[in-house]
Structure 1
Amino acid sequence: MALLLHPGYFPNCLTMAVVAQHQVIWEVWDNFQKQTYRNRCYIATDQGALMLNIPIVHVGGSTGRQLYRDVRIENTYPWQRQHWRSLATAYRSAPFFEFYEEDFMPIFENSFGFLMDLNLETITVLCRLLDLPFPTGKTTRYQTKPENVQDGRSLICAKEKNPIPTPEYPQVFQERHGFLQNLSTLDLLFNEGPAAKAYLKGVEFPWNA
């Protein structure tokens, strides 16, 4: 059965493990919510886990609600330059950072108007580098209780950072902070390189049992 997921910004390892193991349908008719991986991801630094946050244009009105697909990025702030500097500083010593950095540079050099377009592009690049097919299925309407699909949308919530334990792999600065669970898949790729695909396929989910 296919799984329903939200497209996040450089998704965490659990989300990409779902992509590696299952048919995925992207939820594109939900409302944007704060404190989720829709506009943030976490990486490992010498100070521990660091959040990379994408600034968005907030709407007014009585509710302030807007569809995720309509959320615009606040590009007056140089967030792309800041994110890239943080990644380069954190992972310059990682085994595979230099191998992949040119593949990611266009994301930080090109302008994106909508958050969802950016997020889908980050997933497209990750899938290409991981040799995984990019899921093209999308919802056509929002359903609180989706039918004929496994609901994995809770994985977008950033409040619960470790809903499903994942196996350890070598991380930069692990000797200082221990293993940091469920960071952005960038962390896995920069540390494990081509072995990242096998890692994602080996993550165990309760619905696989």
Structure 2
Amino acid sequence: MGGHVLVAHQPAYLPWPGYFSRLTDAEELVLLDHVQFTERGWQNRNHIRGPAGPVWLTVPVRRRFGQRITDTRIADGTWAGRHWRSLAQTYAHAPYWPEHQDALEAVYGMSWTHLAGLNEALLRVMLDAFGLSLPMVRTSELAPVGRQTDMLIDLCHQRNATRLRVNSPGSSASSTRMGTGTGSGAEDDVMPPP
């Protein structure tokens, strides 16, 4: 099954392995940053595997009801040093850490004002580490029309995609609708976060 494969996903903080497995044969990644920020979601927090179990890393943000991910501001700058120290201590002896340490340290050494920018920068470092090179665009720059399935169909049309990789509840409905009359098909992907 060929064609232009589009993966649409919200920008996540330190994404899980399944995020990257979805991108291995994709031609383009669309970051859904125009959607509403979700409190206690994966957009500003994640955990790493520490020696004594999970270590939660949360980027503090200023929240307003209904704010979009692209508009979500980082609350203060003290989190970055803590996160960097946790990553460096946890992974200091991990294979490949020396190869990617400098790129990650550069991201954590910058002063970030918006969550979407931070997540995109980390995602680019991680894509490079996995040897994945693909164009990335934000929906806040595309202004897609519609909501949910209609928005995904519009994104496929805008980006000339013939296939859309989805991973969400109700994706079977997306699959049916997109397969009819649009020339696009949706694929379910079921690798959950660890």
Q: Is the 8 A contact 2:22 2:165 kept in 1?
A: no
- 2:68 matched to 1:67? yes
Higher relative contact order (CA 8 A, sep 6+): 1
Q: Give 1:32's aligned residue.
A: 37
Extract unaligned runs of 5+ from structure 1.
Answer: 155-162, 167-180, 183-209
SS at match of 1:112: coil
After superposition, residues 97-108 of structure 1 pair within 5 angstroms as: 97-108=97-108
Q: Is the 8 A contact 1:4 1:153 kept in 2?
A: no
CA deviations 1:114-166 (Å, max 9, x no partner) are: 10011011111112222211432333236221214343356xxxxxxxx9458
Q: Give 2:95's aligned residue.
A: 95
Q: Is the 8 A contact 1:73 1:112 kept in 2?
A: yes
Q: Which has the greater radius of gyration? A: 2
SS at match of 1:19: coil
Task: Give the direction of change, closer, same or farther, for the CA distance of 1:111–1:134 in structure 2 (3 Å limit).
Answer: farther
TM-score normalised to structure 1 length:
0.66
- 2:6 matched to 1:2? yes
Q: Is the 8 A contact 2:72 2:116 kept in 1?
A: yes
- 2:167 matched to 1:152? yes
What letter matches 2:102 in structure 1? E
Q: Is the 8 A contact 1:19 1:135 kept in 2?
A: no
Identity score, percent: 21
Alpha-carbon distance in structure 1 between the residues aligned to 2:38 and 2:7: 20
Q: Is the 8 A contact 1:3 1:152 kept in 2?
A: no
What letter matches 2:7 in structure 1? L
TM-score normalised to structure 2 length:
0.71
SS at match of 1:33: coil
Counterpart among 49, 54, 64 of residue 59 in structure 2: 54
Q: Give 2:175's aligned residue.
A: none
Q: Is the 8 A contact 1:71 1:116 kept in 2?
A: yes
After superposition, residues 193-204 of structure 1 pair within 5 angstroms as: none
Extract unaligned runs of 5+ from structure 2.
Answer: 157-163, 170-188
Number of equivalenced pairs: 155
Higher strand share: 2
SS at match of 1:52: strand
